[in-house]
Amino acid sequence: MRLIIWASFAASLSLAAPSSVWAQAGDAAAGKGVYERKCLLCHGEKGDGNGAGAEHLVPRPRDFTKGLYKIRTTANKTPADQDVFRVISEGMPGTSMPAWGVLPERDRWNLVAYLKTFAPEQFKEAPKKLELPKEVSSSEASIKRGKEMFEAIECHKCHGSEGRADGPSRAELKDEWGQPIAPANLTKRWTFRGGATRTDIATRIAAGVLGTPMPAFLDAVEKPEDVWHLTNYIMSLGTDRPGFATLVTVGAVSGAIPDDPNAAFWKKTAPQYLPLMGQVIVDPRNFNPAIELVAVRAAYNDKEVAFHLTWDDPTESKGDGKQTFSDAISLKFPAQITAGTERPYFLMGDADEAVYLLRWEQGKGVGEASANGPAKIAPLAGGEATGAVAFANGQYRLVMKRPLAVKGEARPSFRPAQFTPVAVQAWDGGAGESGPKMSLTSWYYLRLEEPQSSRRFIIPPVVAILTLAAMILVVRTANRTR
């Protein structure tokens, strides 16, 4: 069998030879050794994507035997060697495929050569470079045209009308292997599998993503340059990468804080981004968390503290209790805030030390709870927590409020300038998350900004005037004595 593979590989090499401008010919035999050391556990000995780790991964590892490669810069189905090399070197953001740039370049080219031997038939046809239309730089007019085209070619069917992967077809999407596949969230460029540069995005639109439902659009836009208008529009939907907060600051305000999550007040407050990870310490573990980013906005006045949380979730889920559950989110604090650096166990406390949760659950609203571990959560009665939620276009916006100072052992009071431990847990019930199956952060610190008194507007001018007066006095006195 191996002989046959090698023979056909040799044949394919000799056929591919004239087009070797693309290839930095690697040595497949040497690549096999590297593959068996680095790739086999997920991609499998036969390259069929059925390695030991495969069942834990979403999306599953690539099956190389079909010769279908998602990321390619070619007009036909054969990827350029450089395309495969790049994915090996840079990995695939948003998946389990890490960047193998740590391997010597030689090894990576050898891997490219070896991967091709899994589907020699598919590589018989030489890669044909995709010619993108002439680049159009971004401008207001181009973004506007891009939005028009986005609507005309109905990108929203899968990607959602604001690009948050919440389109009506999203639940039906399957890849070439019949596995469910999620559309890209266009507001999160850092998760784009094939890179987030303008050329990467334009290439994916033009050539499609092989083995997935994403079709090629090069011949399906009104004018070829629309590919670039679409690119510019998609670039306008999000940032390259969110700057993660290290400290959550709660701004001091003097007036009332609105409950409405869509109020202008919240739009003006700067978001602080916290990354979330899957909970993998206790069963059931969550290897593929659905919610991986929460934006926190926070403010307090003399009476209450308010938290505004924003996160993406394609569906508003109340759950059927079997496959799907209620969407939920919670902010976690120690039950009492002490001066030291001791904090309760980060996984929702333990038997010795409870944590306090300010939480929201779909259908139940905002409430408070005390927890001694992920499975031991008891609602706290008699609280004054309130809030409001809004869901639109694949995004939740939530306001949770409670009085600054409270009595009792189970609830902490918030004081200005105090470093208060805080953490976030989130559940996408529609994706089957509930109980310990959640995504979470470890402890962060939260700090209520000290109230900015109006003294800073009075003292400096007063000092300036007094200094001026003193100077005039000195000058006058000096003049008189002369």
Partner 1 sequence: MRRTLMAFAAITLVVGAAMWFVSIAGAQGGGTVEVEVKYGGTAQVEKLKVNKDTEKCGTEAVVEHVVVGGNKGLANAVASVPGAKGTTKAKAVIDQHGCKFVPHVTVMQPGEIEFKNSDDILHNLHTYSTANPSINKAQPKFKKTMTEKLEKPEFVKITCDVHSWMLGWVAVVPGLAGVTDSNGVAKIENVPAGKQKVEVWHETLGKQEKEVDVKAGQVTKVSFEMKGK
Q: How far is the CB of 154 from partner 1 (least distance, A)?
A: 4
User: Using the rule CB under 8 A, is 260 a contact of partner 1?
Assistant: no
Bridging pattern class, strands 395-403 and 419-427: unpaired
The answer to whether residue 320 forms part of the interface with partner 1 (CB under 8 A) is: no
Chosen residue from 15, 130, 153, 392 binding partner 1 by CB under 8 A: 153
Beta bridge partners of 333: 356
DSSP state of 29: H
| Least spacing, CB of residue 78 vs partner 1, in Å | 9
Q: Please tell me the distance from the alpha carbon of residue 167 to that of residue 182, in angstroms, as a whole number.
A: 10
173 is a site residue for partner 1 (CB under 8 A): yes
Judged by CB under 8 A, does residue 435 bind partner 1?
no
Stretch that binds partner 1, among 150-158, 314-322, 372-380, 463-471 (CB under 8 A): 150-158
Give the C-alpha separation, 435 to 374, whole Å.
Answer: 7
Mapped onto helix, strand or coil, the DSSP state of residue 60 is coil
Q: Say which amino acid occupies 153.
A: I
C-beta separation of 166 from 394 below 8 A: yes
User: Which of 201/250 has CB closer to partner 1?
Assistant: 201
Question: Do you find a cis peptide bond into 261, omega within 30 degrees of 0?
Answer: no
Stretch of 172-180, 192-200, 322-330, 392-400 contacting partner 1, by CB under 8 A: 172-180
Min CB(318)–partner 1 separation in Å: 17
Query: Do residues 247 and 444 lie in contact, with contact meaning Cβ atoms separated by under 8 Å?
Result: yes
Listed in sequence order, the residues at least 6 apart from 235 whose beta carbon sits closer than 8 Å to its beta carbon are 138, 189, 198, 201
Taking the complex as a whole, the smallest distance from the CB of residue 124 to partner 1 amounts, in Å, to: 12
Q: Which is nearer to partner 1, 210 or 388 (CB)?
A: 210
Smallest distance from partner 1 to CB 172, Å: 4
Nearer to partner 1 by Cβ, of 169 and 262: the residue is 169
The yes or no reply on residue 76 touching partner 1 (CB under 8 A) is yes
**Residue 162 binds partner 1, judged by CB under 8 A:** no
**45 to 74: interface string for partner 1, x by CB under 8 A:** ------------------------------
Comparison of 320 and 342: residue with beta carbon closer to partner 1: 320
At which residue do the structure tokens 């507001």 appear? 187
Reading the block at residue 206, the tokens are 């033009």
Q: Which residue shows structure tokens 């292997």? A: 177
CB closer to partner 1 out of 214 and 422: 214
Interactions with partner 1, residue window 198-237 (CB under 8 A): 208, 210, 213-217, 219-222
Strand partners for 360: 329, 366
Identity of the residue, 105 or 154, whose beta carbon is nearer to partner 1 in the bound complex: 154
Distance between CA atoms of residues 357 and 368, nearest Å: 6
Among 45, 154, 260, 384, binds partner 1 (CB under 8 A): 154
User: What kind and span of H or E run contains 51?
Assistant: none
92 binds partner 1 (CB under 8 A): no
Our finding on whether 460 is near partner 1 (CB under 8 A) is no
Pull the structure tokens for residue 412: 């902490």
Whole-number Å distance between alpha carbons of 172 and 180:
7
Give me the 277-316 binding string for partner 1, x by CB under 8 A, dash otherwise. ----------------------------------------
Exposure string of 400-432, with b = 16+ CB inside 10 Å and e = fewer, is: bbbeeebeeebbbebeeeeebbbbbbbbbbbbb
Q: Using CB under 8 A as the criterion, what x/- string covers residues 107-136 for binding partner 1?
A: ------------------x-----------
Residue closer to partner 1, measured from CB, 220 or 256? 220
The amino acid at 248: V
Q: What angle do CA 56, 58, 60 make, to 5 degrees?
A: 85
Let me know: does 135 contact 81? Beta carbons within 8 Å: no
180 in contact with partner 1 (CB under 8 A) = no
Beta strands in 336-394 (DSSP E): 355-361, 365-371, 377-379, 386-392
E strand residue ranges, 57-110: none
Residue 143 tokens, joined: 């973004």
User: Shortest gap between Cβ of 130 and partner 1 (angstroms)?
Assistant: 14
> Which is nearer to partner 1, 210 or 328 (by Cβ)?
210
Considering beta carbons, is residue 218 or 335 the nearer one to partner 1?
218
Q: Which of 148, 176, 259, 353 binds partner 1 (CB under 8 A)?
A: 176
Nearest Cα to 394, choosing from 317, 301, 305?
A: 317
Among 169, 179, 323, 452, which residue interacts with partner 1 (rule: CB under 8 A)?
Answer: 169
Nearest approach, Cβ of residue 151 and partner 1 (Å): 10
Q: Which is nearer to partner 1, 26 or 208 (CB)?
A: 208
Q: How many chain residues touch partner 1 (CB under 8 A)?
A: 25
Residue where the block lists tokens 């109905």: 154
Query: Contact positions toward partner 1, by CB under 8 A?
Result: 76-77, 125, 152-154, 157-158, 168-169, 172-174, 176, 208, 210, 213-217, 219-222
